[in-house]
Structure 1
């Protein structure tokens, strides 16, 4: 069994929050997290986009940059990147072997309460990968929450909190303030914290946490001016911060919501530059203009000419951002291909998208938390009684059904669905949209 196959056996162990296992693992591994400068990015939506922008800008500044994100869409390797290039299987397998060896030694002397989870193992492997690659900086995306997330073992002196919205309420709480408290757990004593949070209740929690930790809070929009031009679904900005002016620059990542993410990324990069890490206007604008984040408003074209958009929207805030972009880009009416997890706010997720659809193809991914396609279809029919709904047994069958109608299509509702469709696309004769 290969290391990646061993890891896959832990995939369905569920979620375990807390840092005890991670603390034991990194000690057994010789503290790889202390060999580079960690930058942590938390938030409900936008954290992956900010991670991608910051990592790209640091590479453009001449630094060796690591990037750790989750989940992956198709291949596990996607979670681990050095200078924006996914690591190869040999590098990942070597890191996983080291982590499994450390775990086995700890378990043998009862120094762990039980086996590590999938996410704990991948996070520890990322730290080992970064040490082996001798990265200068590692940009680490939080998995779930912040305070008890495995990534928080890095104790980063630089942090961003992109947004606070309702998601994962069973683990993080059912108010924005409660969710903000969990996200704010990444704030270390004396850290520089850039916040894109606009909600007053959540913003107050972040400000209070910074004050309690003696951290320096930078509100991303404070003393910043942004001019935004939207055309054909693409976004161009001019940005002026207290430090310098940028632009015009066309954002590589689509959607009006990426403006806030870009401002957060710039203010975080400026904070790093002030400390002598990376920097320069050219490097920062390169981060905004060249960042790559697949499966987020990703445009594709099927072999039969059907235009397609893939988006990882999996909570109400993400769905609302997707709906706004679809209207701005004129990418509607459309066929919606969707699948959801049982623990999500399915009605809140679908409600912004259903008015833009002429038909729905409901499916399910192969995952324990997946909502059965028939249950999803029943929810859709209750929300929009006059909308045609087709049930497909798999994402591949769903895409075949959507393709038959030769109408523009949107895939959304779950990152796992986006990953399954991307795998299907990789096996089919498709092209990327040149736009």
Structure 2
């Protein structure tokens, strides 16, 4: 598909003030992002009614381009990043929507590798909030949208405005009732399933898989990377009952490790040469297989992605905060956003295999996560734990986390640090190599601190 020129921004037009529900302040371009952030107080509200009303009021931007929905417990963002890089290497204009962000809200909404500009985000937010206010006033919405619903609607609108050739959309939570599921996606991909968000998705892998399978729609081609038979059966049955085409990423493929750090994939479509992935960790091999099978299905349905572009996507992909190695002031810092036991186990396996372990673990965990499962996965590689808390009310206080960790890892030393930056002080870690993990909020705050310098 030919590249299109991005439409120009509307400029610095005065924005009409509006209100979002009773008792809220007026919104202009200058205040729109602050108002948007305040929507987080509405928390998580599963369901498609609100996002459906928002996109209908915007003349359905989600129907302006073909789209891919990517669900799963771990590996969604990494897989989206590989597919994004490959599609762009193939000459396509790509919209990418992911969550949460590490450092800036703009990271969530990306076109051709560039985050949405701040003025454009303000303008889109002002427009979205105005529409939401009108919907509340007319009774179409009983409450304002959640933060995630609002950001999703903004992303869909921005992608239409930028005339993308294809949009890659990472599901936020689950699948069936996630705001992204309002999109009539042509393709879907479901990555590995693990225990996370049980309060919303259920307490078993089967229940969680069924929620993820909620993205499967009639006439969709959906790729899955799960290899457990019970979970594969859930996806197969969901696809059959809804008139979708199911692609088991493992069927007819060979995934092999070549040497210490290269991967080779052979499918029924193509035998790819060995490649060194742009992302670190053996667990990324499964994500790469999913991305390859997704791209092959897209190529067979009119979105040209030659093998050379697929290889570029695997080789040149960048996805910060996932086994990211940073050298700062002579120290090596591993940053990984692992926030559930499966992701923590993958991190531990890599650090063990690479010889980096044992090492100090700077740890923060949100209060809705499986703290015990995460800590037990990390304990074998920890020389000590330094417990801290990023600047979010969801974080377990550092002293409370330290008590929990101490009970699980005795006699491994456990310390606390008032802030993530303080956690890296020599008197806390006493080591030249450190791992920072447990929360994407912690990793994001640490990246901001490292960017600022000493």
> Is this a same-fold pair by TM over 0.5?
yes
Following TM superposition, by how much is the alpha carbon of 1:292 offset from its aligned partner in structure 2, in angstroms?
Answer: 1.1
| C-alpha distance in 1 between matches for 2:99 and 2:412 | 34
Matched, 1:411 2:440: no
TM-score normalized with structure 1 length: 0.96
Output one character per residue of 1:357-383: Cα deviation in whole Å (capped at 9) or x when no partner.
111110112222211111111111111
Q: Does 1:217 align with 2:246?
A: yes
- The separation in 2 between residues aligned to 1:153 and 1:183, in whole angstroms, is 14
Q: 2-side partners of 1:9 and 1:143: how far apart?
A: 19
Q: Secondary structure at the match of 1:127?
A: helix
Structure 1 residues 50-71: Cα deviation after superposition (integer angstroms, max 9, x where no partner): 1001111111111100000000
**1:307-333 residue CA offsets vs partner (Å, 9 max, x unmatched):** 110001000000010011101211111
Tell me how far 1:229 sits from its aligned partner.
2.9
Residue pairs, 1:185-204, within 5 angstroms: 185-204=214-233
Equivalent pairs, count:
425
CA distance in 1, matches of 2:259, 2:60: 46
Asked if structure 2 preserves the Cα contact closer than 8 Å seen for 1:399 and 1:421, the reply is: no
> Is this contact kept in 2: 1:251–1:289, CA < 8 A?
yes
Contact 1:238 1:246 in 2 (8 A): yes
Contact preservation (8 Å) 2:398, 2:417: yes
Contact 1:336/1:409 (<8 A) preserved: yes
The root-mean-square deviation of aligned C-alpha atoms, in Å, is 1.2
Taking the aligned partners of 1:3 and 1:284, their CA distance within structure 2 comes to 39
Matched, 1:54 2:83: yes
Q: Extract unaligned runs of 5+ from structure 2.
A: 1-29
- What is the CA distance between 1:403 and its match in structure 2? 7.2
1:180 corresponds to: 209
1:284 equivalenced with 2:310 (yes/no)? yes
What does residue 263 of structure 1 align with? 289
Using structure 2 for the length normalisation, give the TM-score.
0.92
Cα distance, 1:127–1:419 mapped onto 2, change above 3 Å: same
Residues 1:384 and 2:413 are matched in the alignment: no
Point out where structure 1 has 5 or more consecutive residues left out of the alignment: 430-435
Distance 1:64 1:362 in 2: 42
Residue 103 of structure 1 pairs with residue 128 of structure 2 = no
Partner Cα distance (2:162, 2:424) in 1: 39
Distance 2:372 2:212 in 1: 25
Distance 1:135 1:378 in 2: 50
The aligned residue for residue 433 of structure 1 is none
Summarize deviations over 1:378-424 as a string: whole Å, max 9, x none.
11111111111111111122123577623310001011111111111
Larger displacement relative to structure 2 (144-153 or 8-17): 8-17
CA–CA distance in 1 between the matches of 2:390 and 2:416? 13
- Pairs within 5 Å for 1:45-84: 45-84=74-113
Per-residue deviation, 1:3: 1.9
Q: Which residue of 2 is the match for residue 319 of structure 1?
A: 344
Q: How far, CA to CA, are the matches of 1:3 and 1:393 in structure 2?
A: 32
- Alpha-carbon contact 1:361-1:401 (below 8 Å) kept: no
Distance 2:259 2:434 in 1: 22
